[in-house]
Structure 1
Amino acid sequence: MTDISQDKQRDFEAAAFRRLLQHLRERTDVQNIDLMNLAGFCRNCLANWYREAAEGDGVALSKDEAREIVYGMPYDEWQARHQLEATDAQKAAFEQNRPKDH
């Protein structure tokens, strides 16, 4: 692997994270339950990880503030615009595959 400084590595990771957020904001057809069922994480998980990282660095960030960073809008607004009722099949798959920390 190319010798990359820690600062450059952080910059690349931040760019990849921003691109992931943009992709998820554009793919509103992909529901959180779909992400959870396929990948074991969702937009809310990303918001939680972001908040935990901020708190680890001494920056207080509320759950709602972290979700707004990830969703690009208040969570309630995103839900009203894009969230669909989960199907019985989606709910069953979630219960079967649910990560232990959810």
Structure 2
Amino acid sequence: MTELSKEQQTELEAAAFRRLVSHLRERTDVQNIDLMNMAGFCRNCLSNWYKDAADEAGLALTKDASREIVYGMPYEDWKNLHQGESTGAQKAAFEGNKPTHG
């Protein structure tokens, strides 16, 4: 394995994060509950982790601002445009696989 400097590692991680966010923005057909059920995290989790990182760095970032970074628009707008009503099966799967991460 190639040894990376801390700066290179950070740059690559940031690029991977940007690509993940871009992919999630493009895949509006994939509902958050489906992401939670399949992968154990969703767009909201990602935005919460982003906010946690800002908090740890002593940066002021609101929950709404971190969501807008991930969603590419205000969360309420995204929900109105792309989020459907969860089915009974989706809700049951979520209850059976509810993630424990914070």
d(CA) in 1 for partners of 2:45, 2:33: 11
Q: Extract structure 1 runs of 4+ deviating beyond 3 A.
A: none
Task: Give the AA of the match of 1:26.
Answer: E
Cα RMSD (Å) of the superposition?
0.9
Question: Which residues of structure 1 form unaligned runs of 5+?
Answer: none
Task: Give the AA of the match of 1:83.
Answer: Q
Task: Give the C-alpha shift of residue 29 in structure 1.
Answer: 0.3
**Alignment identity in percent?**
67
Q: Which residue matches 1:54?
A: 54
Task: Give the C-alpha shift of residue 84 in structure 1.
Answer: 0.3
Task: Give the AA of the match of 1:36.
Answer: M
TM-score where L is the length of structure 1: 0.97
Q: Provide, for residues 50-84 of structure 1, a one-character-per-residue CA deviation record: whole Å limited to 9, x for no partner.
A: 00000100001111000000000000000000000
d(CA) in 1 for partners of 2:101, 2:50: 16
Q: Which residue matches 1:37?
A: 37
Alignment of 1:19-38 (within 5 A): 19-38=19-38
Question: Which residues of structure 2 form unaligned runs of 5+?
Answer: none
Task: Give the AA of the match of 1:58.
Answer: G
TM-score where L is the length of structure 2: 0.97
